[in-house]
Structure 1
Amino acid sequence: MAPVFRLWLALPLIALLVACTTIQVEPLPEGMTDQPPANWAARTRSLSQFDHWRLMGKLAVRQPSDSGTAIINHWIQQGEAYDLALSSSFLGMGSTTLKGVPGFIELTLPDGETYRSGDPEALVQAATGWQLPLDNLIWWIRGLPAPGGDFRLLFDASEQLAIIRQAGWEIRYDRWQTFLPDQPSLPARITALKDDKRVRLVVSQWDRHEVTP
């Protein structure tokens, strides 16, 4: 077979390989980088170990069907177990408590009626109309990606975490604050976006929470 003929046969194959290996990379937002700062590994270790806390603040949810706000009377985290107490006049929620671990939740309404489910997000949405990714939020609230899923981290010009993209959500860290002297700065305001839904969480206080016997 003539060399020129072999070359013509190879050209379509080369073009196909080039097309298959071309990866569309989403451009970075202006002023941001996906390269972690030098202290990111140490910071991640410290925040991962910070898994016993109590915080207070405010939660605001906006979605096409309804919107509302709630006071976070407390969010107590002990390892994987959480105890979240909310107060809101929205949709008659009143004082609602959510207790659980990843993959399980117990929700108690103001009238004392209790519901349990192995799908925390679905139960919260059915009871309140709000879509709250609770299992992931336990990590996002500390400025960490949730384990077991793909994610992308974006850092701003001051080398602070600005955005986590994971599970279809974009988590924006609007403000950081030093709440505890022996911990890195912690999120003070977070905005979570997914499609036409927005969840905003403002933290007024972080404290350590001692393990109960």
Structure 2
Amino acid sequence: MKLRFFYLLFPLIFTGCALPPDPELQINNSWESHKNQLEQLTDWSLSGKLGIFSPEGRESVNINWQQSKNGFHIRLNGPLGINVLDIQKVDNNNVIIDGEKYHSNNPEQLIAELSGMVLPIEQLQQWIKGNPSGASYQLDDNHQLSSLLGGQTSTGLWLINYADYRTIEQINLPHKLQLTRGDLRLKFKISNWQIPIQRPVQTPSQQ
């Protein structure tokens, strides 16, 4: 499979500062309760923009990500809907990239070898929603993630900064995050989160 990433004639501009706090943002009472919400959130989808900045240049693509407990489907598209990369994880070791099936227990390495794109896909399934699984982290004043440092020391650690939290179905989720590793930067600008409606558990007496 040949490399199909391309440089755009115009860069996607991301603002460097966070937007004013959302007046509807839910106040988190504690980090433990917020983290518990994130860990229980196993099915979700998002759409937005991904900016890729490296010494070779800069690119911008549209991203659509569907996540379930057992797998994911990520589509990256350029202008006019041109397909850049289509990744599906269908079970523990099988990954479909642009319609071709591969067997690998390291999707990040496989994606890099086939497309040239560096993306910490396994960790991002948690990190992108603000859950610092397997990483050191710092919280903001609202008991939600402001930054983390994690990844494999053999390939280099990722520093992630979070901003622009908004409440989606009673869960505060980030809409901007920047990943940095060496001279590579990935900027996510999420325009839409979709998650199942969070319904309170009913006791027998309430049913």
Q: Distance in 2 between matches of 1:117 and 1:67?
A: 29
Provide the aligned C-alpha RMSD in A: 2.5
Matches within 5 A, 1:178-189: 178-180=167-169, 183-189=170-176
Q: 1:171 to 1:102 in 2, by over 3 A?
A: farther
Task: Give the corresponding residue for 2:93.
Answer: 104
Which deviates the most, 120-129 or 96-105? 96-105
Higher relative contact order (CA 8 A, sep 6+): 2
Q: 1:137 to 1:102 in 2, by over 3 A?
A: farther
Shift of 1:99: 0.8
Pick aligned residue for 2:117 from 106, 120, 130: 130
Between Structure 1 and Structure 2, the one with more helix by share is 1
Mind listing any 5+ residue stretches in structure 2 that lack a counterpart? 1-27, 152-156, 198-207
TM-score, with normalisation over the residues of structure 1?
0.67
Larger radius of gyration: 1
Q: 1:66 to 1:105 in 2, by over 3 A?
A: farther
Task: Give the corresponding residue for 1:63.
Answer: 54
Task: Give the corresponding residue for 1:176.
Answer: 165
Q: Distance in 2 between matches of 1:66 and 1:126?
A: 19
Amino acid at match of 2:189: V
Shift of 1:196: 1.1
TM-score, with normalisation over the residues of structure 2?
0.69
Q: 1:186 to 1:136 in 2, by over 3 A?
A: same
Mind listing any 5+ residue stretches in structure 1 that lack a counterpart? 1-36
Q: Distance in 1 between matches of 2:191 and 2:179?
A: 18
Which deviates the most, 98-107 or 183-192? 98-107
**1:103–1:119 contact (8 Å) kept in structure 2:** no
Count of aligned positions: 163
**1:103–1:135 contact (8 Å) kept in structure 2:** no
